[in-house]
Amino acid sequence: MAKKSYNYFEQFEKQMELCERSAAQLAAMLEDYTDIHTKAEEIHATEHLADTCLHELMNELNRSFVTPIDREDIVQISNALDDITDSIEDVANMFDVMSIEVVKPEAKAMSLLIYEACQALSALVSEFPRFKNSKNIKELIVKVNRVEESGDVTYRAIIKEMFLHEKDAIELMKWKEIFETMEDVIDNCEDVAALLDGLVIKNS
């Protein structure tokens, strides 16, 4: 019996599922802000599973002679998806390591935007294997971009408000870094969408 060919697109979807899971875990952590170290460790466990997916794909790629799209594009997509779970873990660790005692409502709002961005990107990644015939892929790319635009506007408003009203320099420093990293997560989602958009054009 011939060996079943490795499905890179399915592996992208597995990575994306872990992005969504870690985003949901982060939103839940900030909504019920207790036992933060344990919850950050749970997000780390999800990030570790994402690393395993990445390594599995890379190992398979090293053994493959034929791939559905260019090898360097496969590497770029997989690494970009891994960046999302990495940056979500970074956010969770900041709340733990910086000993944030009370979570700001704005952080909860940003975590929901992160989850929304991951959901939008998940739909796009699931549609990507059909990019040559898909009628929905451009709309899905635009949806990710819209969430990123919303995140950008929200981030700027939060930072402006903090510089206007936060008098504690250390608190300002902590929260500025947290919000910057939260925005990075959403930017990472847009980066994947832009990458897939370019590949649609390249492979059409």
How much is the pLDDT for 71?
94
**Which tokens belong to 20?**
């969504």
Average pLDDT value for residue range 1-10: 74
Mean model confidence pLDDT for the chain: 94
Q: What is the 3-state secondary structure (H, E, C) of 98-129?
A: CCCCCCCHHHHHHHHHHHHHHHHHHHHHHHHH
- Centre a 10 Å sphere on the Cβ of residue 29 and count the other Cβ atoms it contains: 24
d(CA 106, CA 41): 23
Architecture of domain 9-203: Up-down Bundle (1.20)
Residue 204 has pLDDT above 80, yes or no: no
Q: What is the mean pLDDT of residues 38-53?
A: 97
CA 132, CA 37: separation in Å to the nearest integer? 45
For the entire predicted model, the pTM comes to 0.94
pLDDT at 3 over 70: no
Domain limits of the chain? 9-203
CB atoms within 10 A of CB 20: 18
Task: From 109, 106, 81, 64, select the one nearest 15 (Cα to Cα).
Answer: 81
pLDDT computed for residue 1 by the predictor: 41
